[in-house]
């Protein structure tokens, strides 16, 4: 019997294992490198975000310091240019805190760039500064540099947008917020309503009855409606009303704190005199009396009503938690909102505010010498303006309500000044 000898095969598995081990080491090294790349990228992105947000935060503060607001914001104005420089410096400083040296040149993918935007959308204007931070870093790899030529780099960017301080209702002197055409903006009568330095906007319909004339003058003037324009009679609008698809955004509820005040006695029609800020169940005034409101916040849980006499108050906010505000045409009214934050919890620029849960009726009439200064905001109710005894002039007033009715035979002048009405603070968005 012939016996065949086996060939020697021992040791081949060692070669296979060696090749496999090298491959496994390569995959492990690549996985480690990928983890390092992603970890560095996350860190770079956090630095870019922090730097862009630091620039935006300083820009928002600088806009207030330099008096930059929606109405006076122009890209070449000194306040905007100073804000621009402050934003760049803040972004550069924050990047340095995180061990990145950047400048105001992003062509090398390592810097900060500020651009100015001014969008005219017709009914509204959007003005802003964009702060863009670009960060690039080199990743020290364990294996990838042996396979791929050149260094591995991460490049990330972050963009923040800063909007200037903006008045309620995008700066319109008269704004109806209702989206119901049956409860929107009405002009009735035969008077002339003149809006200086601003315009008129309705989130639904705009209706005129009789021979009323509505004029809007100034660089931001305009008369806009979203739904339908109804001209009944010989009404005239200057400039011609424009149909727009831009609805004004709903204003956030105003936060006013009444908790620090005690309940005050009812102010009767026979008193007059000087009253102090507090919580009132009713304030009422008849002819022959003068009522003076000391500066501060007046929290109303009932009606504020006057059928005669004189009402005087500077640096006051009247907060209608419940009840109505009703001033007849025979009352001489001089009321002005706070001009600074020194009168908190009264709100700077806010004269009369009805809580959103109160469908109040607010009538701001008064005699020919009456003056209302500041924003009157009735988000869920009706605001009446006019009368037969004259509200001329109505200085520096902004009228915002669910429904607005302008009526009567007396002319009305609305002198809009965004520095004297309620404003929202500068806003910051992280875009990227």
Mean pLDDT of the region 183-189: 91
Identify the H or E element spanning 208.
Answer: strand 206-209
Q: Angle at CA 122, nearest 5°, toward 117 and 123? A: 110
Structure tokens at 32: 């480690």
How many helices (H) and strands (E) in the chain?
Answer: 3, 32
Q: Could you tell me which residues are beta bridge partners of residue 144?
A: none
Q: What is the pTM of this model?
A: 0.84
Percent of the chain with pLDDT over 70: 84
CB 87 within 8 A of CB 56: yes
Average pLDDT over every residue of 107-113? 94
Contacts of residue 17, Cβ cutoff 8 Å, sequence gap at least 6: none
Write down how long the chain is: 432
**Mean pLDDT computed over every residue of the chain:** 86
Closest CA to 70 of 6, 173, 163: 163
Q: How far apart are CA 247 and CA 139, in angstroms?
A: 49
Looking at residue 393, what is its pLDDT?
A: 45
For 274-285, the pLDDT digits (tens) are: 999 999 999 998
* Residue boundaries of the structural domains of the chain: 18-164, 168-424
What is the rounded distance in angstroms from the CA atom of residue 346 to the CA atom of residue 430? 31
């Amino acid at each position: 019997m012939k016996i065949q000898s086996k060939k020697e095969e021992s040791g081949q598995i060692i070669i296979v294992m060696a090749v496999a081990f090298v491959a496994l080491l390569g995959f492990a090294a690549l996985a480690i490198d990928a983890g390092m790349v992603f970890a560095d990228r996350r860190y770079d992105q956090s630095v870019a975000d922090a730097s862009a947000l630091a620039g935006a935060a300083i820009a928002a503060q600088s806009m207030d310091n330099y008096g930059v607001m929606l109405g006076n914001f122009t890209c070449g104005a000194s306040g905007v240019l100073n804000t621009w420089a402050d934003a760049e410096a803040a972004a550069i400083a924050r990047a340095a805190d995180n061990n990145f040296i950047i400048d105001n040149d992003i062509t090398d993918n390592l810097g900060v760039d500020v651009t100015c935007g001014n969008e005219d959308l017709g009914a509204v204007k959007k003005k802003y500064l964009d702060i863009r931070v670009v960060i690039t870093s080199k990743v020290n790899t364990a294996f990838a540099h042996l396979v791929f030529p050149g260094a591995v780099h991460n490049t990330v960017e972050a963009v923040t947008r800063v909007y200037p301080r903006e008045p309620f209702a995008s700066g319109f002197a008269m704004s109806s917020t209702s989206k119901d055409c049956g409860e929107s903006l009405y002009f009735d009568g035969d008077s002339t309503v003149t809006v200086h330095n601003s315009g008129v906007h309705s989130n639904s319909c705009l209706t005129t009855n009789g021979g009323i004339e509505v004029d809007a003058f100034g660089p931001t003037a305009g008369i806009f409606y979203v739904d339908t324009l109804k001209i009944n009679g010989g009404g005239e609008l200057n400039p011609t009303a424009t149909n727009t698809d831009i609805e004004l955004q709903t204003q956030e509820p105003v936060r006013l704190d009444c908790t620090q005040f005690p309940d005050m006695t009812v102010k009767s029609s026979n008193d007059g005199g000087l009253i102090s800020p507090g919580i009132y169940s009713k304030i009422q005034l008849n002819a022959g009396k003068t009522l003076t409101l000391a500066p501060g916040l007046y929290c109303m849980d009932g009606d504020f009503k006057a059928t005669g006499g004189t009402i005087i108050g500077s640096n006051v906010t009247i907060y209608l938690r419940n009840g109505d505000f009703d001033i007849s045409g025979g009352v001489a009214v001089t009321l002005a909102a706070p001009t600074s934050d020194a009168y908190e919890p009264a709100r700077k620029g806010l004269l009369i505010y009805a809580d959103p849960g109160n469908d109040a009726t607010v009538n701001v009439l008064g005699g020919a010498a009456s003056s209302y200064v500041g924003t009157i905001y009735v988000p869920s109710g009706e605001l009446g303006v006019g009368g037969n005894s004259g509200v001329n002039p109505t200085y520096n007033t902004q009228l915002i309500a669910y429904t607005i009715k302008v009526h009567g035979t007396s002319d009305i002048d609305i002198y809009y000044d965004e520095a004297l009405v309620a404003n929202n603070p500068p806003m910051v968005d992280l875009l990227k």
